[in-house]
Chain A
């Protein structure tokens, strides 16, 4: 306990330096600014803004990126409430009751409760990360290659179960992702794989390029297909601070949402995405009068928003302790860390305690800042949202191009986002979800590396994964949840979580 306090103290000392507070503030502000744009979620926002952190020292850069991440999340919720367009998957649920509240002239209260719920969830999640950081890091040290491989297989199994729609399509997407990750020079033998002699493929496909194509450009193409039906809440924003009665009504939902989101966020494999859906379903089930949901129930905003933010933060746990990015956003963080020469994993906490604890402390500061800066700035976001899409998307397109070009100074990267954009558009049209593919891509290289190592150590005996107890348990979990997802009765339950929302 004293350790925890000492560590958090160190973290706050780092995070509260003038430079880092400024960076955190700027990150939150810019992140919200871009995240508010309809159709631009956190993944595209971070990929776009990654280059602006290149000139900073590692601690400052990661603090700013984390700020951008929370800002983008919160910006997405703002858009969901005010315009009924979710910026990304996790704020889909917020549109349901949040936008209804906005239409009843309670947009301010909806935004306020979202901010307060997020802040509370963020505080709890920060403490959780600080508490779990050290023990999980110790756990990571006893993990061998076989355990790491098993853990990633389990993560992918979760990703399949947590994805919307067909299980088979999700599996296929993960495999395509792994296949794409194999493009480029093989790390162990130095041999070029599937590059077709193209020089720009020698280093493989950059993750941010793939993410930007699938989540930035493809999203623009998808939005262009739909004739614009943006209904910005015409009514007044109203007061921002919820009344005592509102707070009393929202408090239990916030608590439950935080717990659900925090637990799901730790799971490797896009767990954070399910949080808001699960929280919404729970609130609806527990409500005395479920018919209020979808008509502006405040619990329908408070629960999912808390879950969203809690999950967004606890997703850092697998990354910082085990070095495994559990979702696409965390994979972008890996990219940012490697640029600054930091290898994510159990070593971060011991080798760079400043960075580790500073980043954790800055998470709490970032959440506080969102609360402080966003409520007064709502008016600006509303005006920004009134810009018609025909002017907004060319701007987004240009930011995407500049952002991607700045990462490696390669025109071919810019061309690739166009290719992946069209590919992603096709995926959406054929009912595939791009998120599992991105996760497969992220984990693909790591998985191959650990698989090779594990098999080399066992001299080619594949049974090693079942002989080592930890890896056997992880495989068992993976197998069970996959089997469960395929069982008709459970599958209906899973579909219900998504459709009800």
Chain B
């Protein structure tokens, strides 16, 4: 056993409530970060408070709360640290990012993503997000994604008229003047729904035929 881990164990033995202890440290860091972030703002006087006054003092109070938590973590017994899942948060963040980057053109510096609209962003979010759990099955997620996106297109685009981009910008430009956007939307939604239903039908038939893949069916129960 290395010296470092022995040392770590010794400090852990002194920390009686690891959860409060670590939470306190995070708060102290957050407070210091706040003080630093507000440091360039004029604080003014009580009679005429500047923009920096409130953030400065609130950040100090956060740091104080944090230090008290650290101290109680050393003195009083309390809850231990909880285990963190990594797969869930990472996948969900990835899914949300995929949606944000594809829904409409987004530029960072000189690089820009093409705007692909809900018709791509929606299924991407559902399929990628679905992998946050180890139970994910690709075909099931794809069916869900197609049907949900078709429904959302009709609900948000057609019925509610929300200004959410539905199709890729390139496609909209190509179709403009030739096909009314409403018709395009309904056609698109119908196409997605048909694809989803066809896959669903295929899957049902294949599960009926082969007994090797008899995973319990979610949608049927």
Q: Which residues of A contact B (CB under 8 A)?
A: 51-52, 54-55, 166, 168-169, 171-172, 175-176, 178-179, 182, 186, 188-189, 191, 193-194, 196, 217, 220-221, 224-225, 386-391, 393-395, 397-399, 401-402, 405-406, 409, 411-412, 414-415, 417-418, 421-422, 425, 429-432, 448, 451-452, 455-456, 459-462
Contact = CB atoms under 8 A, between A and B. Distances in A.
B144 A418 contact: no
Contacts of A51: 156, 160, 162
Contacts of A196: 37
Given A179-B58, A390-B218, A418-B93, 12 more contacts: A172-B27, A175-B62, A176-B27, A225-B85, A391-B219, A397-B126, A398-B148, A402-B118, A402-B156, A405-B164, A406-B164, A456-B48
A194 B55 contact: yes
Contacts of B42: 191
Given A171-B65, A390-B135, A414-B99, A193 B92 contact: no
A401 B51 contact: no
Contact of A395 (B22, B126, B132): B126
A171 B61 CA distance: 9
A387 B93 contact: no
A456 B149 CA distance: 54
A168 B27 CA distance: 12
A397 B125 contact: yes
Interface residues of B, number: 78
Nearest to A399: B152
A169 B89 contact: no
Contacts of B55: 179, 182, 193-194
A452 to B, nearest CB: 5
A374 B140 CA distance: 30
Interface string B119-144: 00110011101101101100011001
Nearest to A396: B129
Contacts of A417: 96
Contacts of A394: 95, 125-127, 129-130, 141, 144-145
B162 A406 contact: yes
19 contacts: A51-B156, A175-B58, A178-B54, A179-B55, A193-B38, A194-B34, A194-B38, A391-B130, A391-B144, A394-B144, A397-B95, A398-B129, A402-B164, A405-B164, A418-B92, A418-B96, A430-B22, A456-B47, A460-B46
- Dominant SS at the A interface? helix
Interface in B19-69: 19-20, 22-23, 26-27, 30, 34, 37-38, 41-42, 45-52, 54-55, 58-59, 61-62, 65-66, 68-69
A92 B138 CA distance: 34
Nearest to B164: A406
A421 B156 CA distance: 24
B208 to A, nearest CB: 20
A460 B47 contact: yes
A414 B100 contact: yes
A299 to B, nearest CB: 33
Nearest to A395: B148
Contacts of B92: 217, 220-221, 224, 397, 418, 421
A390 B164 contact: no
Contacts of A397: 92, 95-96, 125-126, 129
Contacts of A462: 46
Nearest to A406: B162
Contacts of B49: 451-452, 455-456
A448 B52 CA distance: 11
B188 interface: no
A168 B67 CA distance: 11
Given A55-B161, A221-B88, A430-B19, A398 B122 contact: yes
